[in-house]
Chains A and B, each alone.
Chain A
Amino acid sequence: MLYIWINIGSAGDVLEDDPVGRLKVFVYELPSKYNKKILQKDPRCLTHMFAAEIFMHRFLLSSPVRTLNPEEADWFYTPVYTTCDLTPNGLPLPFKSPRMMRSAIQLISSNWPYWNRTEGADHFFVVPHDFGACFHYQEEKAIERGILPLLQRATLVQTFGQRNHVCLKEGSITIPPYAPPQKMQAHLIPPDTPRSIFVYFRGLFYDVGNDPEGGYYARGARASVWENFKDNPLFDISTEHPTTYYEDMQRAVFCLCPLGWAPWSPRLVEGVIFGCIPVIIADDIVLPFADAIPWEEIGVFVAEKDVPKLDTILTSIPPEVILRKQRLLANPSMKQAMLFPQPAQPGDAFHQILNGLARKLPHDKSIYLKPGQKVLNWTAGPGGDLKPW
């Protein structure tokens, strides 16, 4: 018998899918040294842009998709906070993260049979760091390391996304970085305030500490923006940290979202929330929930080599197209999909992740290994990773 499924849906429909009832998730109970104790040591992890891993855990614990019976679970979640080892400045150090992840996987593989059953093919992990499961902030080192070998078969939920890159494997789910919803709500201005800034950007153009000569940071794209447009009255760009940052974005037509050391940035989320059309300058980037959100129709994509012509590109967009993009951005389901509100609301980023996981079901029969069959190499990777955590 042939069942033909006809799927008619625009982006809005897919965003509003309800995952409840379509999948079941089992949450492993790990000792608190993997999650709670780390958070207690540094509560800054709740507010930085990598906080999605913590909030996902909390959401799943009280969500209707959670099941306490692992036999009926479709997906298994391991709550390990690998991005919570922060420097005094607040930047996460990834040096212990591979060992922590290995240790967690060793624990779940020895205490429950479900990891060995599929070697992790029906498990998912949240790895929101710069280059995902490559666990390094420097791109060359991240590429050298590659994705942690033990995670080869698991589904990775990460913020990093770049086509044909070692650190993005097939079947990963790209999510937006965490942006604090209450803080953004508190800075909303009346929608009839006229948008009078043409292009807006606040951030670094040169990373003088790590790349004094330029050309390395952001592949030279941010420096190019500065050198070409620093005296252009249409471009309100600077390195300042104004207190009216959110308000200014609501008064701008275009917001630049260039790559930094990694291609993703919270500016995308902020632009969508505040109705400012994102101008994405990052070659081959994979944007969050790309299968549900029509980024081509909402934002403007500019190749890094076209940055010197940015003003020509932006002013030659017909006004009807700009108005259409603003209308799409004003869609509340779009904004909701970018946020991680507490408590969770329908259509938010948590639900989009579950939707993504539900779309990958049912699992192919071939992921179930025969008893004794081993696919993963437990001793692969740099020697430092093999030390216990």
Chain B
Amino acid sequence: MKLSALQNNRRSNSFRGASLLDSSVDGSIKSPAAIFWLVLHGLCCLISLVLGFRFSRLVFFLLFSSSTTTPPINLFSTANSFTETLSLHTSPPPNLNLTPLIPQNGVVTSSGVVVGRHGILIRPWPHPNPNEVMKAHRIIERVQEEQRIQFGIKNPRTIIVVTPTYVRTFQTLHLTGVMHSLMLVPYDLVWILVEAGGKTNETASILGKSGLRSIIHIGFNQRMPSSWEERRKTENQMRLRALRVVRDQKLEGIVMFADDSNMHSMELFDEIQKLKYIGALSVGILVHSGNSDELSSVIVTQKKDEVVGAEDPSMPIQGPACNSSGQVVGWHTFNSLPYEGKSATYIDDKAPVLPSKLEWSGFVLNSRLLWKDAEDRPEWVKDLDAVDRNGEGFASPLFLLKDTSVVEPLGSCGRKVMLWWLRVEARADSKFPSGWIIDPPLEITIPAKRTPWPDAPPELPPDVKVVNVDEHVEKRPARTRSSRSKHRSKRKREAKLAADVSAKHSVEN
């Protein structure tokens, strides 16, 4: 190659002189042909770098291959497949169904499926479509519904929920909790609410947001007393009032007692479907006090039954105690001995509130037990009016039974706790806006400029009632003061609001 270049040089550019010849003889500077190949090679390298594959291989393949019959399509396909691997969105190469086409590796099958490198198909907008996401969720819901029908409880019975309530500060808190739990129950529900002090619009407005279809709202003519002992008695009477409604209206289903301050888990409602006549559940007792390590429980015997076993002293559970064959032989109750003399008597007391020996909420009944004349009513159940002769109520549904051995333990024999008992109430004189709606809106008397933002000059507008604010701040000693003035002014504003609210809406506790 070099020799011919030399000769060319001599022939065409004789006047160029000896310098070129000398250089070519020397060999230090390469001839134009060599430079040309070098430049071409460099160019190919650069193009390969840019495109990302061996460009020179493609060129040689095209120029020197004689076997392929459709070179243009081949070029398209190879280039196409290479660019596709760079994840650009393209349509599939049209070569998929051409049998004579041979991609890089040269193998075809006789079907439509071609062996070799294919493109990775990516659509132009590879992100979820919201309509399809919603459709998929509906499909999943339908599948789950079918699963429930197939594997869940067959022939679920209506659940009749009995709740005594009355209007007070914490009513919304408690009642909303129970209401939301009941809204999630997948079975038919009848909710009987007995309200002390008569039916009120307050309670009715809370219930109106539930969307539950069968709510029986009854008024009870007594006011709720302020001592816990009296309260329990009144609540018992209210529950019996509800049971009379069940009897009179011949409601069919499983009766459970949901006090409005209790917390229920969803598994509870599945578990009580297993009830036959009367069942007992374990209730977790949450007594809020400072001395939690004093909590313990003892087994209390009934007159005829015997004591079984010992008890783990740290379990505040009320419920059935079983023997090894799964029958109820005793009861766990809350040990109130450590709290002798220290428990709360009145609502306002800062002492722990204790449960009674056996709470109603730990029992579930078949509603047929209450009916006056049902054919399949077992003989061990007493009549409701016979037990509650003078209208004073009784402490637990066990009084309705002649023989307490028929009680069925639920929740794997009381080992699983699915509801919790808690009594939390506000102070007797606590006030709250009726319906928790602030109407008319409060006047903001402290303008925003009072807040000492870093760039705002601190100035006192003339219409600030500073004296009034200080008074209300002092009246609430329990509030902790923070050193930051931002918080202080905020708190002052809140105190002002509360003062206004209490002045404008005096609602009885």
Contacts and interface: CB of A to CB of B under 8 A. Distances in A.
Interface in B183-235: none
B85 interface: yes
Interface of A: 139-140, 143-144, 162-166, 190-192, 194-196, 198, 213-216, 219-220, 223-224, 227-229, 231-234, 253, 283-284, 304-305, 307-309, 311-312, 314-317, 319, 322-323, 326
Interface string B142-179: 11101110111000000000000000000000000000
B139 A220 contact: no
B143 A322 contact: yes
A215 B118 CA distance: 5
A240 to B, nearest CB: 21
Nearest to A191: B151
Contacts of A166: 109
Interface size class of chain B, counting residues whose CB lies under 8 Å from the partner chain: 35 or more
A304 B126 CA distance: 16
Contact of B140 (A198, A215, A228, A232): A198
B84 interface: yes
B118 to A, nearest CB: 4
Contact of B120 (A192, A227, A309, A322): A227
B143 A143 contact: no
Given A192-B152, A195-B140, A196-B140, A215 B81 contact: yes
Given A195-B147, A319-B138, A283 B122 contact: no
Contacts of B107: 139-140, 143-144
Given A140-B105, A233-B133, A284 B117 contact: no
B128 A311 contact: yes
A228 B152 contact: no
B475 to A, nearest CB: 53
A194 B144 contact: yes
B284 interface: no
B92 A305 contact: yes
B303 interface: no
A233 B122 CA distance: 18
B147 A228 contact: no
B112 interface: yes
A129 B121 CA distance: 29
B455 interface: no
B123 interface: yes
A314 B84 CA distance: 26
Contact of A215 (B84, B126, B129, B132): B84
Given A311-B132, A312-B129, A162 B111 contact: yes
A233 B144 contact: no
B138 to A, nearest CB: 7
B484 interface: no
Given A192-B148, A219-B118, A308-B121, A164 B110 contact: yes
Contacts of A283: 112-113
B502 interface: no
A86 to B, nearest CB: 26
A370 B126 CA distance: 64
Residue from A144, A216, A315 whose CB has the most chain B CB atoms within 10 Å = A315
B133 A216 contact: no
Contact of B115 (A139, A304, A316): A139
Given A192-B148, A213-B85, A215-B118, 4 more contacts: A164-B109, A215-B81, A308-B126, A311-B128
Given A195-B143, A198-B139, A315 B132 contact: yes
Nearest to A212: B85
Interface in B95-131: 96, 105-107, 109-113, 115-123, 126-129
A107 B115 CA distance: 36
Nearest to B138: A319
A163 B121 contact: no
A231 B128 contact: yes
A216 to B, nearest CB: 5
Nearest to B151: A192
A298 B107 CA distance: 34
B109 A319 contact: no
B323 to A, nearest CB: 28
Contact of A223 (B110, B120, B135): B120
Nearest to A305: B92
A215 B121 contact: no
A337 to B, nearest CB: 22
B136 interface: yes
B342 to A, nearest CB: 46
B506 to A, nearest CB: 50
A-B interface, 3 closest residue pairs, ranked by CB to CB distance from nearest: A164-B111, A192-B151, A308-B123
Contacts of B302: none
Contacts of A143: 107, 109, 115
A284 B113 CA distance: 8
A191 B147 contact: yes
A284 B148 contact: no
B87 interface: yes
A171 to B, nearest CB: 18
A350 B441 CA distance: 80
Contacts of A219: 113, 118
B349 to A, nearest CB: 46
A229 B140 contact: no
Interface in B403-458: none
A284 B111 contact: yes
A194 B126 contact: no
A323 B146 CA distance: 8
B123 A228 contact: yes
Nearest to B111: A164
Contacts of B117: 213, 215-216, 220
Nearest to B85: A213
